[in-house]
Structure 1
Amino acid sequence: MNFLDLFAGGGGLSEGFLRNGFEPITHIELDKNACKTLETRSAYYYLKRNNMLQLYRRYQKSYNETDDVREREREILLSHIPQGILEPVLNIEISKKTLPEIFDKIDQRLNVVGQEDVDIVIGGPPCQAYSLVGRARDENNMENDPRNYLYKLYIRFLNRYHPKSFVFENVPGILTAFNGNLFRNIQAYMKRVGYNIEAHKIDAKDLGVLQSRKRIIIIGWRKDLKFTYPIFEPVISDYTVNDILNDLPKLRAGENYREFTYRKSVNKCLLKTKIRNKDDIVTHHISRNHTKRDLEIYRLALDKWNREKARIKYTDLPEYLKTHKNQTSFLDRFKVVAGDKKYSHTIVAHISRDGHHYIHPDITQNRSLTVREAARIQSFPDDYFFEGPRTANFVQIGNAVPPLMAEKIALWFKETFARIC
């Protein structure tokens, strides 16, 4: 079974399909750092299959080195990988202008790997234009944003390759954008090119992720196939968010952990969620610097949460800590990750700008989340290596489909394909 990955990002959705044995035809992504992450992940899977993970561990340990050293180590890593393993990653914008080139490269890939058909297309166009927050902040309600119409390009892939099925992932706001007209258009276009479709809101926490993350998952299948939309039995978690954070070394603001070892041994939660195994090492665990003002606000937010299980509002702050004139909207600018709850609030790409919405639950550390902690809340495993600077890492994580969620969706496809195809 194979898949075509559109608007691939850092690979959260494709990770779920890779875990279930699907082979990538092509990952298509505009962001250069995300493409490098996808290449590195491809290298990981190749080395794992060939019992050569010691080479991958060596590269992971270059994380704390200079950019030049890390780049040299990456070249050494990739020198052990056959070129065909890395070719599926295509760093290009999906647009009307580039479609002929993209189609040509996909056709070449299909020929190289000896495949005639695409089994499944996965992906979701950038969601900012559909998000409720994005529309609220834009004076034109995002009506002029060209990303509103990227779904038409997604459908061009369906029309050309006629896959058995597809997964189109996006934010809940896609259902209500432009009074629902946009979603009605999406449905009409998908049906017109030969697919039955259903769309449902799925929360990642119901699929085993320790994070509440509501997404619209549109699943379509060719009209000649007898599919029905999957029914996912909710996963009842016995764990809390602290169970995926507490084994990591403690850090204060501005500290970098350089030893690669864990503070505690692996626990059942980490094993069950596939976040950590017994051979993993710690990377991407560097905490941001914060101003004294921010640290004081963090302490107040943590104290209120620990005492009252209540979120601090901007209007609750002492006057000397306030810097914004707006005291009527976006009052939850500072938010503690609920370590003692069964799931965190949603990790979004805004975490790349500041960590105010993602304050670590341990008051003795008093800081925002590191890249590795945010990745864990998204259910990325510790052996997942994110390329690029820290801001790029956060963007890749915040925009991703949680791998554990993707894995459950991909497993359903694997079982369904085995039954009917």
Structure 2
Amino acid sequence: MTNSKRKSSASAKNTDPASSSVSEKKAKRVKEETEEELSNTDAVESPAVNGDASVRSSGRKPVKKVEAVVKDEEESRFVGEPVAADEARQKWPHRYLGKNKTVTIPEAKGSVPPKEYIQAKRHFTEALVDGRVLFKLGDDGYVQAGEGEDYYICRIVEMFEGVDGEPYFCAQWFYRAKDTVIQACSNFIDDKRIFLSEIKDDNPLDCLIEKLKIVRVPLDVDVATKRAMLANGDYYYDMSYLVPFSTYQNLPPDNEADGNESDSTISSESDSNVAVTKVSKTKENKKPVMRMLDLYSGCGAMSTGLCLGANMADVNLVTRWAVDLNKYACESLKLNHPETEARNESAEDFLLLLKEWEKLCQSFSLVGGGDPITVEKNETENAEDDEEEEDDDDGQDEEVFEVEKVLSICYGDPKEMKKRGLYLKIRWKNYGPEEDTWEPIDGLGDCQDKIKQFVVDGFNSKILPLPGDVDVICGGPPCQGISGFNRFRNKDNPLDDEKNKQLVVYMDIVEYLKPRFCLMENVVDIVKFAKGFLGRYALGRLVSMNYQARIGLMTAGSYGLPQFRMRMFMWGARPNEKLPQYPLPTHNVVTRGVSPVEFESNTVVHDDVKGAVLEKELFLGDAISDLPPVTNDEERDEIPYKEAPKTEFQKFISLKKKDMPGFVGEDSSDHLLYDHRPYKLNEDDYQRVCQIPKKKGANFRDLKGVRVRDDNRVEWDPNVERVYLPSGKPLVPDYAMSFVEGRSLKPFGRLWWDEIVPTVVTRAEPHNQAILHPLQDRVLTIRENARLQGFPDYYKLLGPIKERYMQVGNAVAVPVARALGYSLAMSCKGAATEGPVYTLPKKFPNLEAVAVEEN
């Protein structure tokens, strides 16, 4: 994690010679500056054209008075009367605990190491640095940095004489954007913008360089307004940057920001919580339904979980719009969420459509701005009309097509004529639905009334969102360019890869619609590949849009699934909202896989894992042992349940819709068991699977003719003749022997009842992954995979078998989304606790079980 740079810090480990070396470097620097100014005074006095490079890099203004600089070798010292002893002890009690130079004090959180504090003899409110610069308590300034580095920026929150007689100041640090986790993507951030941190530490007084004017500005205004408020100041700040979970959030109230009262960090927001609560409650009264847009929605797992979780906390979150390029996924989502406007189109076209839709609404005076619409016939059509008139004169009538109704709207090339643009779907008078066609809007100049009626009706029913209509945007933009399966990954410029461009589109849509909240999901590689460039890019974009933001890494199994599966979740929240937290794990699952070193602290885990009260981890048998047996060639999409649920998980996952916590609606019907059918293996693979023993850990290595060496690599057994199937193909295929250089256990591997699955896959083929049922000669069914992802049994999928496997494999684990939805609701209601993480209610989400236990 990019921590604050504190090379001038004076902790217990700092020695007096170290402090002296800083002073010596500083004196040498000032001497060089003095000589340069004496030799070229005019150059210093004249203003830089377009910003002098040296001034721009450090932000430091050139010193104009040579006489003041010459005095630099004078000692830095406190001036004025010291703070009264009683007042000092009351404000800074941690400085008056003993006579030793430092005292170690344990931190409130058990996982945070104890902190050493230099002990004080007395406190001051003013100091004269280098005999020329007067600093007061609460002033901002530059601090000496390493050679070749920009000066550090701080606020002075204490001035004191240590028990060792040395003068110190305590600095609360500001970060430049490039010094935060954004790093290389800081180009999105104004170079005058800095971020207040919670990091404070002690430094020798003579490390101070120059005073700065740093202005606090509102977050929710544009850069030009902030620059205007800065006036002749050096920097402005509008957010806090907290290292845990790479958090950018609202500043604390003014009286907390100066940090003068005590050594408490600035992460407390108890006062601002009150304001947020008032804002949220007012909004909730005016708009009881929170509308969500699910981008790259797939079959709707993420939005389903978010809605269930939010509704459990009495926030009525509804997925109003969804967009996905896969038509089968859209059909599945629409089947399960009839209230959702599911659009089968690319996100790029969706954004272009939104912009055109706003223009249409403006043209009919439904929203402000824009000009009246004028749709004219083109020259070709006019010529055709002239020809038709001539034909009419000859007495040869032709059929005239009349628009009966405008049905829909899209942006793209629906007629596949390589002519992209805005199209309307038309129902022709005296023709049925099978004759509906897509027509370019610029060719419909003679049906203004029909277009207006469609736009007015669409505006009232919100078939498309306008800026300000969306409360929440969720989605996982695909980034295949970072996939480990992609041998041609662009490590130098990941955004130049077309396969990663959807991340840009996602952020463009957020910027256009300006939702109250956004939640982006992605694979962990987004913060690993190319030094986490894409994750930093996404965070930088949100912060540049004045969104509060944070990153968390969450494991599916930690929320009640027998699956490890870690994913990245990035929250964003508008300035007047409370930034949602990450729910802490509810189940005792050890996180598998390596978290990126720099983002390791972003993993959502309990600080005290041993002390946390967690539910027992779930295994494969807990999820699927009650499902009826099916064969490799099962073709039914719906079958009856045969056994009663055996575990708490099975009872919960098989609930009716109306009984599912968080479901809002009237559906009380019973449901059959949907999608409990496997991908049908070809005859050769089926023959192979039938010979895999039904035992834990069984795989292709158990087949005849395979021998395992001492180094755990496989080889052909020279004493066994190679076995062939009836088709003439070998029982053990060559690819199984060579996979991962012969070390893999995955080809034709059986899962077992007491195992946790690494990750649910999108392709149900056993050639390079362990996906065989423990006791049945087949791969796991669609429904078994769906249970491992936490889909309720009532959630039915559509499309070919392979497509349904993909929908499940690409989904966000529903229990994780449900927990995040609950967190979102807590923020909307102003009921969220402090900090980046929080504890879910006991037995979440099966809260009825708690009531039964208590009764």
TM-score, structure 1 as length reference: 0.77
The answer for the alignment partner of 2:461 in structure 1 is: 112
The answer for the alignment partner of 2:47 in structure 1 is: none
> Distance in 2 between the 1:104 and 1:407 partners?
34
Query: Could you tell me whether the CA contact under 8 Å between 2:698 and 2:750 is conserved in 1?
Result: no
Q: CA deviation at 1:420?
A: 6.3
Shift in alpha-carbon separation, 1:231–1:245, aligned structure 2, 3 A:
closer
Q: Is residue 2:578 matched to residue 1:283? A: no
Q: Deviations over 1:341-393 (max 9, x none)?
A: 3x322012233x55762433423x12101111111111111111111100110
Q: Is residue 2:318 matched to residue 1:23? A: yes
For 2:500, what is the secondary structure of its paired residue? helix
Shift in alpha-carbon separation, 1:231–1:275, aligned structure 2, 3 A:
same
For 2:347, what is the secondary structure of its paired residue? coil
Query: Could you tell me whether the CA contact under 8 Å between 1:3 and 1:23 is conserved in 2?
Result: yes
For 1:23, what is the secondary structure of its paired residue? strand
> Distance in 1 between the 2:634 and 2:716 partners?
27
Q: Which moved more, 1:223-232 or 1:109-118?
A: 109-118
Q: Deviations over 1:7-59 (max 9, x none)?
A: 1111110111232231123101111111111110113xxxxxxxxxxxxxxxx
Shift in alpha-carbon separation, 1:255–1:130, aligned structure 2, 3 A:
same
> Distance in 1 between the 2:733 and 2:562 partners?
32
Shift in alpha-carbon separation, 1:261–1:199, aligned structure 2, 3 A:
same
Instruction: Kindly provide the amino acid, as one letter, of the partner of residue 485 in structure 2.
Output: G
> Distance in 1 between the 2:637 and 2:789 partners?
23
Shift in alpha-carbon separation, 1:32–1:102, aligned structure 2, 3 A:
farther
Instruction: Kindly provide the amino acid, as one letter, of the partner of residue 286 in structure 1.
Output: R
Shift in alpha-carbon separation, 1:226–1:362, aligned structure 2, 3 A:
closer
Query: Could you tell me whether the CA contact under 8 Å between 1:334 and 1:359 is conserved in 2?
Result: yes
> Distance in 2 between the 1:314 and 1:4 partners?
49
> Distance in 1 between the 2:767 and 2:648 partners?
25
Q: Is residue 2:99 matched to residue 1:99? A: no
Shift in alpha-carbon separation, 1:334–1:180, aligned structure 2, 3 A:
same
Q: Is residue 2:331 matched to residue 1:36? A: yes
Shift in alpha-carbon separation, 1:418–1:113, aligned structure 2, 3 A:
farther
> Distance in 1 between the 2:512 and 2:500 partners?
21
Q: Is residue 2:543 matched to residue 1:191? A: yes
The 5 A counterparts of 1:14-413 are 14-19=303-308, 20=311, 21-43=316-338, 85-86=339-340, 88-95=341-348, 98-104=350-356, 111-113=460-462, 116-131=468-483, 133-135=484-486, 137-138=487-488, 143=494, 145-227=497-579, 229-235=581-587, 236-237=615-616, 239-256=618-635, 260-271=639-650, 273-277=652-656, 279-291=670-682, 293-295=684-686, 297-298=688-689, 302-303=693-694, 305-306=696-697, 315=714, 320=730, 321-324=732-735, 326-329=738-741, 331=744, 332-341=746-755, 343-351=756-764, 357-363=769-775, 365-413=776-824
The answer for the alignment partner of 2:365 in structure 1 is: none
Q: Which moved more, 1:409-418 or 1:266-275?
A: 266-275
Shift in alpha-carbon separation, 1:176–1:139, aligned structure 2, 3 A:
closer
Query: Could you tell me whether the CA contact under 8 Å between 1:130 and 1:177 is conserved in 2?
Result: yes
> Distance in 2 between the 1:238 and 1:174 partners?
27
Q: CA deviation at 1:167?
A: 0.6
> Distance in 2 between the 1:234 and 1:248 partners?
25
Query: Could you tell me whether the CA contact under 8 Å between 1:358 and 1:369 is conserved in 2?
Result: no
Q: CA deviation at 1:281?
A: 1.2
Instruction: Kindly provide the amino acid, as one letter, of the partner of residue 389 in structure 1.
Output: P
> Distance in 2 between the 1:297 and 1:255 partners?
18
> Distance in 2 between the 1:293 and 1:134 partners?
26
Shift in alpha-carbon separation, 1:243–1:152, aligned structure 2, 3 A:
same
Q: Deviations over 1:106-128 (max 9, x none)?
A: 98767425995321110011143
> Distance in 2 between the 1:257 and 1:317 partners?
40
For 2:554, what is the secondary structure of its paired residue? strand
Q: Deviations over 1:122-177 (max 9, x none)?
A: 0011143233x223x44766956413121111111221222221110000000122
Shift in alpha-carbon separation, 1:111–1:378, aligned structure 2, 3 A:
same
Q: Which ranges in structure 1 are unaligned for 5 or more consecutive residues?
A: 44-84
For 2:633, what is the secondary structure of its paired residue? coil
Q: CA deviation at 1:292?
A: 5.5
The answer for the alignment partner of 1:70 in structure 2 is: none
Shift in alpha-carbon separation, 1:349–1:185, aligned structure 2, 3 A:
same
Q: CA deviation at 1:397?
A: 0.5
Query: Could you tell me whether the CA contact under 8 Å between 2:638 and 2:675 is conserved in 1?
Result: no
Shift in alpha-carbon separation, 1:138–1:263, aligned structure 2, 3 A:
farther
Query: Could you tell me whether the CA contact under 8 Å between 2:296 and 2:325 is conserved in 1?
Result: yes
Query: Could you tell me whether the CA contact under 8 Å between 2:562 and 2:619 is conserved in 1?
Result: yes
Shift in alpha-carbon separation, 1:152–1:140, aligned structure 2, 3 A:
closer
Q: Deviations over 1:254-283 (max 9, x none)?
A: 234577212311234345543444933122
Greater fraction strand: 2
Query: Could you tell me whether the CA contact under 8 Å between 2:302 and 2:812 is conserved in 1?
Result: yes
State the structure with more CA Rg. Answer: 2
Q: Deviations over 1:216-261 (max 9, x none)?
A: 0111112333325324243223543112212222123223457721
Q: Deviations over 1:73-112 (max 9, x none)?
A: xxxxxxxxxxxx35x11111012x5522134559876742
Instruction: Kindly provide the amino acid, as one letter, of the partner of residue 304 in structure 2.
Output: E
For 1:248, what is the secondary structure of its paired residue? coil
Quick one: percent identity of the two aligned structures? Answer: 23
TM-score, structure 2 as length reference: 0.40
Q: CA deviation at 1:413?
A: 0.6
Query: Could you tell me whether the CA contact under 8 Å between 1:125 and 1:147 is conserved in 2?
Result: no
> Distance in 1 between the 2:490 and 2:508 partners?
28
* Larger relative contact order, structure 1 or 2 (CA cutoff 8 Å, min sep 6): 1
Instruction: Kindly provide the amino acid, as one letter, of the partner of residue 281 in structure 1.
Output: L
For 1:102, what is the secondary structure of its paired residue? helix
Instruction: Kindly provide the amino acid, as one letter, of the partner of residue 771 in structure 2.
Output: I
The answer for the alignment partner of 2:181 in structure 1 is: none
Query: Could you tell me whether the CA contact under 8 Å between 2:638 and 2:676 is conserved in 1?
Result: no
Shift in alpha-carbon separation, 1:250–1:140, aligned structure 2, 3 A:
same
Q: Which ranges in structure 2 are unaligned for 5 or more consecutive residues?
A: 1-289, 362-454, 588-614, 660-669, 703-707, 723-729, 833-855
The answer for the alignment partner of 2:262 in structure 1 is: none
Instruction: Kindly provide the amino acid, as one letter, of the partner of residue 333 in structure 1.
Output: P
Shift in alpha-carbon separation, 1:138–1:299, aligned structure 2, 3 A:
farther
Tell me the matched-pair count.
372
Instruction: Kindly provide the amino acid, as one letter, of the partner of residue 642 in structure 2.
Output: R
Query: Could you tell me whether the CA contact under 8 Å between 1:337 and 1:345 is conserved in 2?
Result: no
Q: Deviations over 1:275-296 (max 9, x none)?
A: 4449331221223333455346
Shift in alpha-carbon separation, 1:293–1:40, aligned structure 2, 3 A:
same
Query: Could you tell me whether the CA contact under 8 Å between 1:355 and 1:368 is conserved in 2?
Result: no
Q: CA deviation at 1:403?
A: 1.4
> Distance in 1 between the 2:477 and 2:324 partners?
10
> Distance in 1 between the 2:824 and 2:576 partners?
16
Shift in alpha-carbon separation, 1:189–1:242, aligned structure 2, 3 A:
same
